[in-house]
Amino acid sequence: MRATHVKRAFKYRFYPTDAQAAELSRTLGCVRKVYNMALAARTEAWARQERVNYNATSAMLTAWKKTEELAYLNVVSSVPLQQALRHLQAAFASFFGKRAKYPRFKSKKKSRKSAEYTTSGFRFRDGELMLAKMAEPLAIVWSRPLPEGAKPSTVTVSQDAAGRWFVSLLCEDPTVKPLPANGKAVGIDVGLEHLLALSTGEKVANPRHERRDRERLAKAQRELARKASGDGANRAKARRKVAKIYARIADRRRDALHKLTTRLVRENQTLVIEDLTVRNMVTNRKLARAISDASWAEFRSMLEYKAQWYGRDVVAVDRFFPSSKLCSHCGTLAKAMPLNVRTWTCEGCGTTHDRDVNAARNLKAAGLAASACGAGVRPQRRTPDGQSATKQETPRREP
């Protein structure tokens, strides 16, 4: 059964006053400090084969606040600090569940700066958001309305590398409901020449957002490289300039992907894609920049969660399925298909294919066949010793 209401985050930019910016910066620093100290404590306990969980780190936080060295933790709201410990607990749960790597320490310069407030740490009333320890509401730019009668359950404040401040409100959205079934299916082949090729014959152009700003980015990076290393004001200014260009590229890319995935999900009941390992593909030096700019992984992520929202189905076909070399008309398998071959003629039936559209049609057929028989197209994975990967494995012990 699908949930009646979907919880979704509504993200807005806001412009803090000098006092608010100072308070938020202190909070972000304390959140990072508490997270790193708790991670160090759990790591040391793990080495001693001792168990440390969220309750233990929460007790540690109380003790830290009473020390003279860490008394400044009492200045900021306690809610984001407790949430940092909960996030660390979730990170360890993902690690022991083999869904993620071991948690890493947060860096002052490289890690995402964010602080999460639960209902006890903020007040939302009449379109105004007031955070704990602040005397006035945030000046939020309401670029889109919240759902009628929305009551945020959590509020996350973040600052990106370009220095911009954002607030994300997690609310139930009653407008997100399963769409009426239409029986349509589409195969989707991602690429670089064209971002997408659909089994309908449609091709979606690759916007190449990074290429449009490549000269500006290169110039800004050269200016940054010429600055003296360290924490000087000039280097910080040059770093923000580079970050603003990256943010502009990412914003355009994300906006285009949102519009594209929403259209595909609304128009089709079943969407068939290829199960690509983008992480491995970007190791190719010649294609890494183009693949990263196309953002295939983000496209798939958006497609999957929107399909779940609106009652659609996404089928992933195994990456080793020969979608490009297989004739979608007669099923003849071509011997070789170099990347520079964009059109080819089948030796079996003489049909001339567009490489990408043909691949999309084969993906659609394979995905529908798998859905019909209730099985996946992906072959059963094997471990190096030849045993089935579905074999019960001994879980790692949690500290």
Enzyme catalytic residues: 189, 274, 356
Give me the amino acid identity at 184: K
Give me the amino acid identity at 33: K
CB atoms within 10 A of CB 28: 22
Residue 303's alpha-carbon distances to 114, 173, 247, 317, in angstroms, are 26, 18, 22, 15
How far apart are the C-alpha atoms of 326 and 253, rounded to whole Å? 32
Helices (H), 190-232: 209-212, 214-226
How far apart are the C-alpha atoms of 114 and 339, rounded to whole Å? 42
Residue 312's alpha-carbon distances to 188, 190, 274, in angstroms, are 15, 20, 17
Closest to 279 (Cα-Cα) out of 296, 258, 264: 296
Phi-psi region of 208 (alpha: psi -120 to 50; beta: other; left: phi over 0): left
* 116-126 exposure pattern, b = at least 16 Cβ within 10 A, e = fewer: bbeeebbebee
Residues 6+ apart with CB under 8 A from 195: 204, 205, 206, 207, 260, 294
Kindly state the helix (H) or strand (E) to which residue 203 belongs, with its residue range: strand 203-205
Output the furthest CA–CA distance in the chain (Å, rounded): 82
CB atoms within 10 A of CB 12: 17
C-beta of residue 33 within 8 angstroms of C-beta of residue 194? no
